[in-house]
Structure 1
Amino acid sequence: MEHYARSIIPVIEYNYENFTALERTIADFFIQNKKKRDFSAKAVSERLFVSEASLSRFAKKCGFRGYREFIYQYEDTFREKKSRPFADNTKRVLDTYQELLNKAYNLADEKKFQKIAGMLTRAEKIFVCGVGSSGIASRETELRFMRIGLNINSLVDRDMIRMRAVFQNASSLVIGFSMKGETEEVQYMLREAKRRGAKCILVTARNNPDCLEYCDEIILVPALDNLEYGDVISPQFPILVMMDLLYTYCLEENKERIDAFLEDTAKALKK
């Protein structure tokens, strides 16, 4: 890519939990600010009603020697500059991620996500299946969506996928992950589940209209040549991007109920 923005905002966010209430006020100001202004210690202390000593302590907690060094780095965000030269391997990885994100942006179908989110929240039981790297994405999807109260299970074993296919019915929703759309076990699961009345969704990088024969919806994910070999980035990344988008639409389906589930699961993890 032509340019990667360097920002110290992630540094502030990373240290946020270590800040005092006063320091969080300072942190919030720098995180939320979007324009260049007078960032001198005097100007910022007057704006936030904090002392200059508080600004110094805040900067040191962020890993800087003082406020002057912090603000120099912070102001760098607003300076126009040529892209920082990267080593070839670093640039290759970042370029790959950026290319996939750009493709995801163009593939995202908001109306389809809204429709599928409704299907997910209405389904009595949900099965998400995949093999290999798609299986890893299946497990992650289960962990994400179970936290909002969905009855979801991931299937990654080839034999288990085939066996569970025969138990599907009209109360089921099946999501199959297959980048090429050719994984035999995933195809079998979707075909058999559809035949038994289940709702079926295929997540794939291949836009094959024939899949609509046994799928109610197809979610297209971005792909690059040889991505499945994982020689540059994790091959499950494109699937997880689309699942994250779908997740946000599910959050809006019944926000009050879902917020309660999220709070309960968060409490359970703390015990």
Structure 2
Amino acid sequence: MTILEEIQQKFPSFSDKEKKIATYLLKNSDTLTNINISTLAKETNTSPATITRFAKKLNQNGFVDLKIQLSAVPAVHIENDMAINSDVYNFYTKVIEQTEQMVKQEDLENVVQTIKKAPRIFIFGVGSSGLTALEFTQRLMRMGLNVVSTTDSHMMLITSSMAVSGDLVIGISASGETTDVNEAILCSKQNGAHIVSITSFPESTLSKLSDTSLLVYNSAFIGRERFINSQFAIMYQIDVISTMLLEDNQLNDRMNQTIKVITRNSLNEELKRNEKS
């Protein structure tokens, strides 16, 4: 585990001032070679003493040792003549590479097997994570799986009370601290449902409630605010899961059948419109 991965892992346990330091280091990890503790304190509106305490929380003797660990992390440099394209490319490349380093292959495989065996699947998410939950639900439905997504906080609690032993409940939250999602997940867990989460922090409430937690890199730490897609890492993980599921011949056949039905229906609708015109 690199020092950057450790910072992200411990992020929820940091104080507010320590989170400022952590966020700055994660956003600017490629340009910290010549920074000193006074400059970092000024940039983060903290103090050298706070930075030293922060370093010790990461099992470093002080800021110098912390900076040595940061400089040992390889930077990602992509050459591109088109500045904007390069910026976006670098952003998505870093998100994918960092996510790949965080996730465990055996966790992915376990989640895929659990999805295939579950008699019912419930997916919870709100806000942008709710949109991701809807996308994931549509994919699983097209494979013939019994799945429903809930993005309304009130309905989420109602749905969670219906989950029973054997059911699979998937909670999606980048922070892992979305209250509505966590309350619904807790209710489902108390009913005996199997819990899977997709989140950025292994020490978050959501992750701790889960039987399996798939970790993704939090794109907010890259520092490209003008185009940050907070769901990109989660969608990447969902792409991986979907692809793994489609290796199953039965699920693949169901997906192809669904595509045929949708295509045929679209064609019929187009023919009807042409006849009317």
One fold, TM greater than 0.5? yes
Report how far residue 116 of structure 1 moved. 1.0
Flag the structure with larger Rg.
Answer: 1
Distance 1:213 1:99, change over 3 A: closer
Report how far residue 230 of structure 1 moved. 6.6
| Corresponding residue of 2:212 | 217
Larger proportion of helix: 2
Unpaired stretches in structure 1, ≥5 consecutive residues: 1-81
Q: Residue type matched to 1:258 in 2?
A: L
Question: Take 2:230 and 2:188, find their aligned partners in 1: how far apart are those partners?
Answer: 26
Distance 1:119 1:84, change over 3 A: closer
Give the counterpart of 2:140 among 120, 137, 145: 145
Moved segments of 4+, more than 3 Å: 209-213, 226-231
Distance 1:216 1:182, change over 3 A: same
| Corresponding residue of 2:116 | 121
Question: Take 2:185 and 2:218, find their aligned partners in 1: how far apart are those partners?
Answer: 22
Q: Residue type matched to 2:141 in 1?
A: M
3-state SS of paired residue (2:121): strand
| Corresponding residue of 1:83 | 79
Q: Could you state the TM-score of these two structures normalised by the residue count of structure 2?
A: 0.62
Q: Could you state the TM-score of these two structures normalised by the residue count of structure 1?
A: 0.64
3-state SS of paired residue (1:166): helix
| Corresponding residue of 2:261 | 268
The residue correspondences of 1:52-67 to structure 2 (distance < 5 A) are none
Q: Residue type matched to 2:89 in 1?
A: L
| Corresponding residue of 2:252 | 259
Give the counterpart of 1:239 among 234, 238, 242: 234
- Percent of pairs with identical residues: 26
Question: Take 1:96 and 1:225, find their aligned partners in 2: how far apart are those partners?
Answer: 10
Report how far residue 92 of structure 1 moved. 2.4
Unpaired stretches in structure 2, ≥5 consecutive residues: 1-77, 265-277
CA contact (8 A) 1:135 1:155 kept: yes
| Corresponding residue of 1:159 | 154
CA contact (8 A) 1:176 1:186 kept: yes
3-state SS of paired residue (1:182): coil
CA contact (8 A) 2:199 2:215 kept: yes
Instruction: Kindly tell me the number of residue pairs found equivalent between the two proteins.
Output: 187
Q: Residue type matched to 2:82 in 1?
A: F
Report how far residue 211 of structure 1 moved. 4.7
Question: Take 1:212 and 1:155, find their aligned partners in 2: how far apart are those partners?
Answer: 19
Q: Residue type matched to 1:256 in 2?
A: N
Q: Residue type matched to 1:270 in 2?
A: T
Tell which deviates more after alignment, 143-152 or 203-212.
203-212
Question: Take 1:140 and 1:235, find their aligned partners in 2: how far apart are those partners?
Answer: 15
Distance 1:117 1:228, change over 3 A: farther
Question: Take 1:118 and 1:228, find their aligned partners in 2: how far apart are those partners?
Answer: 36
Distance 1:193 1:228, change over 3 A: farther
Report how far residue 235 of structure 1 moved. 1.6
Question: Take 1:230 and 1:126, find their aligned partners in 2: how far apart are those partners?
Answer: 34
Question: Take 1:151 and 1:165, find their aligned partners in 2: how far apart are those partners?
Answer: 15
